[in-house]
């Protein structure tokens, strides 16, 4: 019931914009249901007229009249069906397009935390399978549901109008049909909910395996990868099969009840005639009409239950998409304090932080980067280096303490302005489908080619780009590219240089390249760091020997701080790390 309420609010939000289209659907459905409900009466009348002609030689004019009216009614029913489908197809296409746009807009405002805690496959499943399920339901299941409700109402009214006893006889098995349908719907709903969650998990696994295919191959883990896929695929198959079994078994049961009801109607109708309760002609007409009513009466129940899986998928999809819309957005204080540079210093003051409540990652971290200084963060994996970077850019906010630029808490600053002030070069560079020029100018789309080339020259990548047949117009993507890992990193650095940030964060930018490429990247980093306040995370300590200050983190605490020479002289943890690296280098 909760899912149905959530889905109702979600659909109302997007469908309330089409009142005239739904009015057209209402008129078309009334035309469809009325025509379909009245037609059997004229079918029975036509049979009666034909019987009178065969027995008494009566005129066939009335027979032709009833046959013509019945034909027109079925034509009107078909026109109503066609019109409803056209209206719903248009609404479905436009509405799902707006749903997709709405979800994408929402994701651009959400906290990084959501993307850190949800797999790419699960997120993509909401754009693909969930929205596809909504579109399919609006074009098929919802239309069928509207038809069925209108059809049942029309049939019930006409049955009681023609014969109250036969109407009750036709409807006698309704309670049993409802019980069977309710049990089926409940079981199918449970299976469908599980199916969508299992599909999300499977998509996430597939995405992860494709991304890491080279690692899988080089380590000979193909069979393990297949085994993981088969395990998740088996869960999808099991939940899908369960849903299909429950939805598939209902239609034969309902068809059986429909045939049984038709037989009962024929029996009692014939009995009424034989007992003299009905004239032969009238009785024959009623029997023919009510056999049609019996079939048409159960047909909507069969139709609704047969498309219930689609409806449940649409309800589940609406719930899953609503979960995205309910996610908290980044706090953007407006107007907020403007920030464009570090005039004095950036300070981290007694910061405590935890990703999950009760599990603190940083324990009272304090450090200062004066204007123009380069501060390096070193320490073992899991020591909190990247967490400090996440807090500097406000991907997350501190639990306690504060981070300040020139003494002003960054939480009071305009977030967009803060982000433009901060430039980040990540360990794994991200390229976008398009030209090399578009990738470099990603943060400054209006930048001239001269400005783009100047940034590339500072990043030591211009010569290589110009050697390509299409130069800066060379098409690349993150998956398929003429660029090596190191060259991608240089493009990423050029992108950062072009945005001219005043505060830099470099997250292990040289950790995934060879020594020769490392030297080129280091020169590019020196160019981008020059004159800017910067934080550098480094595993290779030789890349931060010239840092103004080195902060050594371990288990979320700063255990040492100073220049390279001072830390070596202390012969502490940093000295041990450095000497161990020098041995292997």
The CA distance from 257 to 279, in Å, is 28
317 inside domain: yes
460 close to 492: Cβ distance less than 8 angstroms: no
Looking at the fold, whether 321 and 429 belong to one and the same domain comes out as: no
- Say whether both 392 and 438 belong to one domain: yes
What number of helices (H) and strands (E) belong to the chain? Answer: 22, 12
Q: Which of 270, 294, 325 is at the close of a domain?
A: 325
User: Domain range spanning residue 352?
Assistant: 345-584
For residues 339-348, one letter each, b for 16 or more C-beta atoms within 10 angstroms of the residue's C-beta and e for the rest, the string is beebeebbbb
- For residue 34, the number of C-alpha atoms closer than 13 Å in the C-beta half-sphere is 10
Q: Compute the average pLDDT of residues 348-358.
A: 88
| Beta strands 557-562; 549-554: pairing state | antiparallel
Integer Cα distance of 160 and 166 in angstroms: 8
Give me the CATH number covering residue 399.
3.40.50.300
* Whether residue 301 sits in one domain with residue 375: no
- Decide if pLDDT at 384 tops 60: yes
Is the pLDDT at 351 greater than 50? The verdict is yes
**pLDDT(334) > 70:** no
The residue from 263, 297, 325 where one domain ends is 325
Cβ(319)–Cβ(7) below 8 Å? yes
Alpha-carbon gap, residue 440 to 55, rounded angstroms: 92
pLDDT digits (tens, 9 = 90+) for 1-39: 566 777 778 878 888 888 888 888 788 878 877 777 777
Check whether residue 508 and residue 365 sit in a common domain: yes
Taking residues 546-553, what's their average pLDDT? 88
Q: How big is the CA angle at 69 (ends 68 and 75), to the nearest 5 degrees?
A: 90
- What is the model's pTM? 0.66
* Cβ atoms of residues 511 and 427 within 8 Å: yes
Q: Where are the alpha helices (DSSP H) in 173-307?
A: 174-211, 213-218, 222-274, 280-306
> What pLDDT is attached to residue 511?
56
Per the omega criterion (within 30 degrees of 0), is the bond before 335 cis? Answer: yes
Question: Residue 275 — very low, low, confident or very high, per pLDDT cuts 50/70/90?
Answer: low
140: number of Cβ within 10 Å? 18
The pLDDT mean for the chain works out to 79
The percentage of the chain sitting over the pLDDT mark of 70, rounded to a whole number, equals: 87
Question: How many residues does the structure list for the chain?
Answer: 585
Strand runs labelled E in 437-529: 475-476, 503-507
Q: Which of 351, 338, 354, 352 is closest to 405 using CA atoms?
A: 338
Q: What is the CATH number of the domain that holds 64?
A: 1.20.1560.10
Does residue 338 form part of some domain? no
C-alpha pair distances (Å), 358 with each of 354, 355, 381, 385: 7, 9, 21, 20
**Is residue 200 domain-resident?**
no
Rg over alpha carbons for the chain, rounded to the nearest Å, is 36
Q: Does residue 569 form part of some domain? A: yes
Q: For residue 560, is it within any domain?
A: yes
Q: What are the tens digits of pLDDT across the range 47-72?
A: 777 776 666 766 677 778 878 888 88
Residues 6+ apart with CB under 8 A from 439: 431, 432, 476, 491, 495
Q: When comparing pLDDT for 7 and 231, which is higher?
A: 231
On whether both 251 and 378 belong to a single domain, the answer is no
The verdict on residue 524 lying in a domain is yes
**354 and 314 in a common domain:** no
**Domain for residue 502, yes or no?**
yes
Name the band, by pLDDT with cuts 50, 70 and 90, for residue 350.
very high
Same-domain check for residues 122 and 69:
yes
State whether 317 and 439 are in the same domain: no
Is 380 in the same domain as 301?
no
Looking at the fold, whether 499 and 570 belong to one and the same domain comes out as yes
Q: Name the domain count of the chain.
A: 2
Domain-located, residue 483: yes
Instruction: Please indicate, yes or no, whether residues 260 and 362 belong to a single structural domain of this protein.
Output: no
Q: What is the mean pLDDT of residues 387-401?
A: 87
Supply the pLDDT for residue 584.
47
- Under the banding of pLDDT at 50, 70 and 90, the label for residue 282 is low
Quick one: pLDDT at residue 352? 92
Q: Predicted confidence band at 482 (pLDDT cuts at 50, 70, 90)?
A: confident
Contacts of 400 (CB under 8 A, 6+ apart): 350, 351, 352
- If asked whether residues 313 and 352 sit together in one domain, one would say no
Percent of all residues in the chain with a pLDDT value above 90, rounded to a whole number = 2
């Amino acid at each position: 019931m909760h899912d149905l309420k959530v889905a109702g609010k979600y659909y109302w939000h997007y469908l309330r914009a089409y009142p005239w289209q739904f009015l057209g659907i209402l008129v078309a459905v009334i035309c469809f249901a009325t025509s379909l409900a009245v037609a059997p009466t004229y079918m029975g009348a036509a049979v009666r007229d034909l019987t009178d002609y065969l027995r008494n030689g009566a005129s066939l004019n009335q027979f032709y009249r009833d046959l013509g009216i019945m034909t027109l009614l079925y034509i009107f029913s078909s026109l109503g069906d066609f019109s409803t489908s056209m209206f719903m197809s248009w609404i479905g296409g436009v509405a799902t397009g707006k749903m997709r746009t709405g979800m994408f807009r929402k994701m651009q405002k959400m906290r990084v935390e959501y993307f850190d805690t949800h797999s790419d496959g699960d997120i993509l499943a909401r754009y693909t399978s969930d929205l596809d399920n909504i579109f399919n339901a609006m074009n098929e299941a919802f239309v069928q549901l509207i038809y069925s409700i209108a059809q049942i109402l029309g049939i019930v009214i006409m049955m009681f109008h023609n014969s109250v006893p036969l109407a009750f006889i036709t409807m006698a098995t309704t309670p049993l049909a409802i019980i069977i349908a309710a049990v089926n719907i409940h079981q199918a709903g449970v299976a469908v909910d599980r199916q969508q969650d299992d599909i999300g998990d499977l998509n996430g696994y597939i995405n992860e395996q494709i991304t890491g295919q080279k690692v899988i191959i080089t380590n000979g883990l193909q069979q393990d990868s297949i085994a993981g896929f088969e395990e998740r695929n088996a869960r999808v198959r099991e939940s899908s099969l369960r849903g299909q079994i429950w939805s598939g078994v209902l239609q034969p049961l309902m068809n059986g009840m429909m045939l049984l009801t038709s037989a009962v109607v024929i029996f009692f109708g014939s009995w009424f005639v034989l007992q003299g309760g009905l004239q032969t002609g009238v009785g024959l007409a009623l029997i023919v009409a009510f056999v049609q009513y019996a079939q048409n009466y159960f047909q909507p129940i069969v139709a609704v239950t047969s498309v219930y899986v689609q409806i449940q998928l649409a309800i589940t999809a609406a719930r899953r998409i609503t979960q995205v819309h309910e996610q908290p957005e980044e706090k953007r204080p407006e107007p907020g304090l403007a920030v464009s540079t570090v005039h004095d210093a950036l300070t981290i003051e007694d910061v405590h932080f935890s990703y999950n409540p009760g599990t603190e990652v940083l324990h009272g971290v304090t450090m200062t980067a004066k204007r123009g200084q380069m501060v390096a963060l070193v320490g073992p994996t899991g020591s909190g280096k990247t967490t400090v970077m996440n807090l500097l850019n406000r991907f997350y906010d501190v639990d306690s303490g504060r981070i300040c630029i020139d003494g002003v808490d960054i939480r009071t600053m305009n977030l967009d302005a803060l982000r433009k002030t901060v430039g980040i070069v990540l360990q794994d560079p991200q390229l976008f489908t398009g030209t090399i020029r578009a990738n470099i100018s990603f943060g400054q789309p209006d930048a001239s080619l001269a400005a783009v080339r100047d940034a590339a020259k500072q990043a030591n990548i211009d010569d290589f780009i110009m050697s390509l047949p299409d130069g800066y117009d060379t098409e690349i993507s993150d998956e398929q590219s003429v660029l090596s890992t190191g060259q991608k990193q240089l493009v990423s650095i050029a992108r950062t240089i072009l945005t001219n940030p005043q505060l830099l964060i470099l997250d292990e930018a040289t950790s995934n390249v060879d020594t020769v490429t490392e030297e080129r990247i280091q020169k590019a980093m020196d160019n981008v760091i020059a004159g800017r306040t910067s934080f550098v995370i480094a595993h290779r300590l030789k890349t931060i020997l010239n840092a103004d200050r080195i902060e050594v983190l371990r288990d979320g605490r700063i255990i040492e701080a100073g220049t390279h020479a001072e830390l070596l002289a202390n012969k502490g943890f940093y000295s041990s790390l450095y000497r161990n690296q020098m041995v292997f280098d």
